[in-house]
A and B are shown apart, each in its own frame.
Chain A
């Protein structure tokens, strides 16, 4: 009887002063790794708001871990459930970031092709522009402008290879504006020249 009572006391004390659950460290590490993966594909740039929400969810998980750690009777079931959600969110955010990046890349490629085509058109138009002494200086200036656009397209390709897609997109849009401006200028010069020739 004496032994039995001592045993019950020992077990009771152990149960009282020890936790009932363990911190789900493997799941926490997994979630942190998933967040890092999302960041590595540029989620913080391309889907910044979603990424911020993901980080906030992880901070909330860490707080809940400590809430349980502060208790006598720890229960990490809710934390585990939260971690499942965070993992799923991380995957979704990563996928969305990749999709958005792909969209930006496609937009850049499409604009690059468009600018290339306008540059080709502009070069063709320079062959139709006045070739006499009256056209030489103006043509040289326009050719200089065209070469600036070509240089800008090289910069765009460089930025794309460095994964700086937003900067590349801005640059290619600016190049398109300039290419169109030259196109208009050339068409006006040619039209004016043709009109004067008819006279």
Chain B
């Protein structure tokens, strides 16, 4: 009897369970697909961007891509917390698509940035190496202030740092160091160039003096022509170079001599007034020239009157062409020094009364700087 009473109930339970089972199957079938494959693609896109250096070379874009990926993950987590039939991954997929697009953009941007930085740094480094060569070839030999040579040397060290970073493919660091080196080396070269340009404003006068000297030698007389910039002493006769010698000058050889003790080598037309050797000179052999000449004296007096020179200062004297040179540096107090072997030759060639023409340069500055 009891069994008979339970039968309808059992049927109902079985029906309910069956219905629930079918409902479960339908819900599972309808359950939205988890976006794991898409998230994996987004992660791979980020990895690819990172490998392309985006973390450093396209940082804002790369960071945005990472944030979008994190948003996708957060959205996925939020959806997973919902009852499964109510989950909706469309927002997750939207973030995934944005992540992939941003990561690709970051990667492309990074590769372009690397290419650009590489090219700029490489060209910049080569350009600065050229400037260092120019400094060593021309500017280093001119008397420069400590500030200029300090800027140059700091620039040289910074450029070494740039080259080291560049060789290690750290282009951003190479670029930063290159920019610093660029500032330092350009400032030192610009200052040196400015000094040279100011000095070379006298070039037309030197050119004329040089041409006059050569013309003078055409009469058969020997003349001495000194090119201070080239550090060369020429002996001309009949309009042709008879001999040439390497010359060392005063410590502050650039510019005309203005007063005693300025260690500058004078510029102008002089004559040999005395030949000295043995106990008469401490510089092996010497040819004394008539510095100061009339022009020097006039200029000196005029500068003193104008107050450009102190009242008690002296014009200086005893400028010679002498021996004991060959030291490789400009070291005299304003004289012109040759090595002793060359001095022997010159001493034999030259008699008193011979013209000595000293000019800043026989070549224009553009030609000097243009030489490799």
Residues of A within 8 A of B (CB): 1-2, 5, 9, 13, 16, 52, 56, 59-60, 62-63, 66-67, 69-70, 72, 130, 132-135, 137-138, 141, 144-145, 148, 152, 166-167, 170-171, 173-175, 177-178, 188-189, 192-193, 196, 199
Contacts and interface: CB of A to CB of B under 8 A. Distances in A.
Given A174-B157, A199-B341, A130 B327 contact: yes
A175 B16 CA distance: 86
Nearest to B248: A134
A173 B77 CA distance: 51
Interface of B: 6, 9-10, 13, 16-17, 20, 24, 28, 34, 36, 39-40, 43, 46-47, 50-51, 69, 73, 76-77, 80-81, 84, 87, 146, 149-150, 153-154, 156-158, 160-161, 164-165, 170, 173, 177, 251, 324, 326-333, 339-341
18 contacts: A5-B13, A56-B47, A59-B46, A66-B36, A66-B76, A70-B80, A70-B84, A133-B331, A135-B331, A145-B153, A148-B150, A148-B153, A148-B154, A170-B164, A170-B165, A192-B326, A196-B324, A196-B339
A174 B69 CA distance: 42
B39 A63 contact: yes
Contacts of B69: 59
B246 to A, nearest CB: 12
A63 B161 contact: no
Interface SS of chain A: helix, strand, loop or mixed? helix
A2 B6 CA distance: 8
A144 B326 CA distance: 24
B69 to A, nearest CB: 8
Given A66-B76, A170-B165, 20 more contacts: A1-B10, A2-B6, A52-B50, A60-B40, A63-B40, A66-B73, A66-B80, A67-B34, A70-B76, A130-B327, A134-B331, A137-B329, A141-B149, A145-B149, A148-B154, A166-B173, A173-B160, A174-B160, A177-B160, A178-B153
Nearest first, the 3 closest Cβ-Cβ pairs linking A and B are: A134-B331, A174-B160, A69-B80
B6 A63 contact: no
Contact of A133 (B36, B77, B333): B333
A162 to B, nearest CB: 15
A72 B80 CA distance: 11
Nearest to B323: A199
Contact of B328 (A5, A72, A167, A192): A192
Contacts of B341: 199
A177 B340 CA distance: 36
Given A66-B36, A67-B34, A72-B84, A9 B161 contact: no
A4 to B, nearest CB: 10
A9 B340 CA distance: 119
B12 to A, nearest CB: 10
Given A9-B13, A62-B73, A144 B149 contact: yes
A56 B43 contact: yes
B156 A178 contact: yes
A106 B88 CA distance: 56
A137 B157 contact: no
Contact of A173 (B39, B164, B251, B332): B164
Contacts of B158: 174
